[in-house]
Amino acid sequence: MSGDPRNEPQRLLVVEDDTAVGPLIVHYLEHAGYDVFLAREAEAAIAAAREHEYDLVISDLVVADGDGHEIVDAIRALQPRIKVLFMSGYGTSHGLTPDDALLAKPFQAR
């Protein structure tokens, strides 16, 4: 018998290739009580989505080995109901639709 799922931390998948930014995001999210997995590469993110269910994917729009949209599309093929938050340090929406959520970098944790 498993515990009440409302008491379990939400599982987040963070896709960020910047070696300074990714761990910082993970630190703040874990401190806030989330269960977080950091993927620094597109294939690692997709593999993680094959292995575990996530409540939210937070993906950079531009990753060194892939495009954030393509990564999220592959994850959504595996987990159609997953929620998505994109991050970008670029001043433009970089192909986002009005339905896409964007967190502009740089940002501050509070």
Kindly state the average pLDDT of the residues 87-110. Answer: 73
Question: Distance of CA 5 to CAs 10, 19, 58, 72, Å?
Answer: 9, 32, 21, 25
Residue 73: helix, strand or coil by DSSP? helix
Q: What is the pLDDT of residues 51-96, one digit of tens each?
A: 999 999 999 998 888 899 999 999 999 999 999 999 987 655 667 7
Single pTM value for the model: 0.87
Cα(105)–Cα(20) distance, rounded to whole angstroms? 13
pLDDT at 1: 39
pLDDT for residue 110 is more than 90? no
Other Cβ atoms less than 10 A from the Cβ of 83: the count is: 13
